[in-house]
Amino acid sequence: MNNTVNIYTDGACRGNPGPGGWGAVLKYKDKERELYGAEPNTTNNRMELMAAIKGLEALKKPSKVCITTDSLYLLKGISEWLPDWIRRGWKTAARKPVKNVDLWQRLVAAQQQHSIEWKWIKGHAGHVENERADALANRAIDELLKSAPKQSTTHATGRT
């Protein structure tokens, strides 16, 4: 039996910046959990990062994890750019501050106790779990806009 926690993530934004949402589908053996949330004024990249962060933060113990994302920003950031950003004190090659540094640092902390494999898939290409994560991100935006346009929200369903 596979002992890997699979996390499928997506972010969405209506306007960039604008109201944004994130969604994550967590699967472990026969269990599933959906997480989603929104912020009133954010960017798509921040929501992509938040989906991965929230997925990892939901894990209760060190785990073998496979995170699947359709965000090249997230994938390249975590697998290519991050070591140089850290080495340069969170500066880009052009010596400018790294965008979304607060979330990158939170992601670094969230992944510390886990063994993580990162995978990229093409978005909106019929991948079932990616489509679910996208639907959760958009649901979060819809709920935010209906209920409290100035607040951020977070929701969870299921158990892992």
pLDDT in tens, 87-113: 999 999 999 999 999 999 999 999 999
Per the annotation, the verdict on 10 as an active-site residue is: yes
- pLDDT on residue 114: 97
Q: Is 70 a catalytic residue?
A: yes
**Catalytic member of 23, 48, 55, 129:** 48
Residue 34: its pLDDT value, please? Answer: 98
| Residue 124 is among the residues annotated as catalytic for this protein | yes
Segment 123-133 mean pLDDT? 89
What was the pLDDT predicted at 126? Answer: 82
pLDDT of 49 > 80? The answer is: yes
Q: Which domains does the chain have, with CATH numbers?
A: 4-158 (3.30.420.10)
Question: Based on the number of CB atoms within 10 Å of its own CB, is 136 exposed (0-12), middle (13-18) or buried (19 or more)?
Answer: buried
Which of the residues 34, 39, 70, 129 is marked catalytic? Answer: 70
Q: Is 155 a catalytic residue?
A: no
**pTM > 0.95:** no
Q: Which of 10, 34, 39, 129 is catalytic?
A: 10
Lowest mean pLDDT among 1-5, 36-40, 98-102: 1-5
Respond yes or no: is residue 30 known to be catalytic. Answer: no
- Both tokens of residue 134? 């996208």
How far is it, in rounded angstroms, from Cα 43 to Cα 48? Answer: 9
